[in-house]
Structures are given as structure tokens and as C-alpha cells.
Homo-oligomer: A and B are copies of this chain.
């Protein structure tokens, strides 16, 4: 039986689709979108040596379409800690378990690479509601909150999970 969800490595042709998803998610400002594309470019050019690893998810049996991606990598200056920098699902492909499928894939990959903890930084604005519940459902804990970090009224939240 063919699978509905398939995760593969990043390819150069994914760049425009990733841009499209990040833009249409509506969660990110211009600087953040630019940052995401810089990470894509670095990962395409330098591979894992860039420090940014991508997992892209294709959804659909007969006509698989790229519907989500995650970007993660080892946290500088730490031993065995990884950051999940981005996890994005196309707004038209929500409620299919794509985010969770990507997150669990990243957790397995990080463990394979010797990682012991995964951190996710997010804005309290983006996280309002659905995002927080998503991380909690996947057993992430709020490890830290920096008040007014992004701007006044917009805190940085750090979620963490010890991988065992």
C-alpha cells in the first residue's frame, strides 16, 4: 500500500514551494520569510554542514504535493541539544497530521544523531492557541518565557522536550 505521507530531504526545486507556504501561512513577517529562505539556500549549498537540516513532506498517493517542512539543527555551543527552527504546514493541508508526522520524524532524526533535547522557540503571538496545544499534545514543556522579546506584548516562548 502506498503511503499518504512521505518525508524526504530538501531539493533545490523545493525553494519556491517553501516560500509559498511560509508566505501563505500568514504567520511570518518579511524579515522572517527572508530568514527562512536564507536557511533553505544555505542547506542546499552546504548540506548538513550548514547546521540547518530540512525535512520536507509530500502528501497524497497519486499526486504527492509538498505540504509541509521542518528545519532543525544542532544548537551552537551545546552538547546534544537541537533547535527546531521551523515547522510549517500549508494552510490548505491542516488537520491531516502533517505537523505531527514531521515533528516525530525530526525527533527520531535528532536522536539518531545523538541529540538528547529538542528546543522550539516561538512567539507568544504565533503560539496563541493552536501552536501551544500542538506542542503540549506532543509532550513539550514551556521551559522559558522572555517577556516583550520580539516587541512589547510579544514574548519569546521556549518549549523543550527531553528525548528518551
The main secondary structure of chain A at its interface with chain B is strand
A75 and chain B: residue at smallest CB distance: B149
For A16, list chain B residues within 8 Å (CB): none
Assign chain A's interface to a size class: 20 to 34
So how many copies of this chain end up in the complex?
Answer: 2
Flag if A160 contacts B144 (CB, 8 Å). Answer: no
Which of chain A's residues 123-164 have a Cβ closer than 8 Å to chain B?
143-152, 158, 160
Cα-based distance from A146 to B119 in the complex (angstroms): 10
Chain B residue nearest to A123 in the complex (CB): B77
Shortest distance from the beta carbon of A79 to any chain B beta carbon, whole Å = 4
User: What chain B residues lie within 8 Å of A78 (beta carbons)?
Assistant: 149-151
Cβ of A40 within 8 Å of any chain B Cβ, yes or no, is no
Report B-chain residues with C-beta under 8 Å of the C-beta of A145: 144
Q: Whole-angstrom distance from the CB of A154 to the nearest CB of chain B?
A: 9
